[in-house]
Amino acid sequence: MRDGDRLRIDLPAAVSSVLGGLAAVGEEAALVGGCVRDLVLGAQPVDWDVATSAAPEAVARQFPGATWENPFGTVVVRDAGEGPGIEVTTYRVETGYRDRRRPDQVRWGRSLADDLARRDFTINAMAWLPDDLAAGSGRLVDPFDGAADLDARLLRAVGDPDARFGEDALRLVRAVRFASRFEMRIDPATEAAIRRHASAAAGLSGERVRDELLRIMAGAPPSSRAFELMERLGLLDVLLPELAALRGIPQAKRLAGDALDHSLRAADALPADDPVLRLAGLLHDLGKATTLADGHFIHHEKAGERLAEGVLLRLRSPRAEISRITRLVHHHMFAYDADWTDAAVRRFVRRVGPDLLPDLFALRAADDVASGAHEPGRGGWSELQRRAAAAIASDPLEAKHLAVSGDDLVAELEIAPGPVIGRLLAELLEAVLEDPTLNSRDRLLALVRERVANGDQTHHEPGGGATARR
Ligand code: ATP
Ligand code: MG
């Protein structure tokens, strides 16, 4: 397939009506970017992007209900269905990337050729121009030989690679994403330019880097290849120095390799449809770089938790994501043996939190795969997993499962509401974790009366706020 060749496409009705609507008012409109690349590969595109000669205002007028989302002239046309919407972008030429983050000026281009020339890689710089929409027939517009590069599995920058990476450093990371996703070699001139510009990736906004990293981790091929490529290109040191520092940290594991190899394998062993969990696998052993002493990594999970938090704050990850990953790093070293009492299992569930357990066991499974470790039949973590599930199904494990509430304590015992109530409930929960048969209203109230009578709750209140009401 090459420039000018005919290409027939099964267009979704919504895409066809956007292309047709623009043609009806005398404008040129073409499919561009990732969807054309996917079609040439014979794959089904995930989203469909349209580029047009029409100005954004004209596009918005043409499709009532369309939203004009940003100053770059992208209008999102939503079809009646639930679909993600079709992005329609006016032909443009970008100039002046002063801060190497985003174009500070966008000029509308005059032609499709201008628009393709500002795209990052040849495989992403192809278009499809329809000539008979009803028949799905049209021609490939491929001025940079992207189809030949796709065929040869070659990733190549459009135009002068130094200029392209100098304009936008995100393209450095995108190069890694596309090379690993399509299992491509990087063209030597493009690769040399990436190495020369690698340090500029430090200036990228955390959000944009996070977005690319999650897209890399969500890919079907093992994400380790992408990170190895990043390391070879000098990007890992710049983007994730905490991870790069694991290179050369020795591991006494059945599988060969250092702590970086181990971390990459752990990420690979986690599901690709949960890139955040894969990220937890990638970061779980960060602490090994700073706790290496006689090969024992004492408390590396605590050091690792802090390092992972630093990485995630820099990437501007949402709070819930930071919490999920740092809790996993914190707890990943749990050790279990078959002698644990049921109470010990309940305390473990309480400590980790029932919500985190599925992730934590998934991480342990991946950690084992990445170490070449085999679980013992008895006393292995899957035994703990079964026992924890049984406890969650039948035992009181949280304050809300107690047979009394804070209000009950206030009403029955005439204790003034305040922090002491929370502490009494926590003590009751401790007692119930030890012995679930205590979890009845009478027994719990009796237990509290006993403690209050002993004075050990009401008098230790530092602010003096826990005095009995009379
Ligand atoms: P995917 O299938 O992963 O979405 P994609 O190629 O569609 O891949 P997008 O990030 O959705 O990637 O971008 C759509 C198109 O916009 C790209 O194919 C490329 O032509 C262009 N593009 C996106 N980001 C850049 C950039 N930073 N520099 C130049 N062109 C870009
Ligand atoms: Mg896309």
Rounded mean pLDDT of 128-137?
95
What DSSP string runs through 304-343? HHHHHHHHHHHTT--HHHHHHHHHHHHHTT----TT--HH
Mean pLDDT (the chain, rounded): 90
Tally the domains of the chain. Answer: 4
What spacing in Å lies between the alpha carbon of 34 and ligand 2's midpoint? 5
Residue length of the chain: 470
Report pTM.
0.88
Residues with CB under 5 A from ligand 2 (ion): 34
Q: By three-state DSSP, how is residue 183 classified?
A: coil
Among the atoms of ligand 1, which is closest to the Cα of residue 45? 2
Given a cut of 70, is residue 106 above it in pLDDT?
Answer: no
In a domain, 468, yes or no: no
Owning domain of residue 410: 399-454
375 lies in the same domain as 428? no
Q: Which long-range contacts (CB under 8 A, 24 or more apart) does 405-413 make?
A: 408/441, 408/445, 409/448, 412/445, 413/445, 413/448, 413/449, 413/452
Question: Alpha helices, DSSP H only, in 118-248?
Answer: 146-152, 161-167, 170-181, 188-197, 206-217, 223-232, 236-239, 241-244
80 lies in the same domain as 180? no
Residue 256 burial (C-beta neighbours within 10 Å; 0-12, 13-18, 19+): exposed
Q: For 110-114, 140-144, 244-248, which range has the lowest pLDDT when averaged over its residues?
A: 110-114
In a domain, 230, yes or no: yes
Phi, psi dihedral angles at 74 (to 5 degrees): -95, 120
Helix/strand/coil percent split, the chain, to 5? 55, 10, 35
* CA atoms of 211 and 264, how far apart (whole Å): 19
Residue 249: predicted pLDDT? 92
In a domain, 245, yes or no: no
7 lies in the same domain as 144? yes
CA angle 237, 228, 206 (to 5 degrees): 45
Residue 108: predicted pLDDT? 58
Give residue 109's pLDDT band: very low, low, confident or very high (50, 70, 90): low
DSSP code, position 384: H
CATH number of the domain that residue 72 is part of? 3.30.460.10
177 lies in the same domain as 264? no
75 lies in the same domain as 140? yes
Summarize pLDDT for 218-237 with one digit per residue, the tens.
Answer: 977 799 999 999 999 999 99
What spacing in Å lies between the alpha carbon of 32 and ligand 2's midpoint? 10
306 lies in the same domain as 347? yes
**Best mutation site among 90, 101, 120 for ligand 1 pocket (most ligand atoms within 8 Å of CB):** 120
What spacing in Å lies between the alpha carbon of 439 and ligand 2's midpoint? 55
Summarize pLDDT for 28-85 with one digit per residue, the tens.
Answer: 999 999 999 999 999 999 899 999 999 888 898 888 878 776 666 788 887 666 566 7
- Which residue's CA is the nearest one to ligand 1's atom 16? 33
| Among candidate residues 123, 312, 305, 280, the one with its CA nearest the CA of residue 209 | 312
Q: By three-state DSSP, how is residue 381 classified?
A: helix
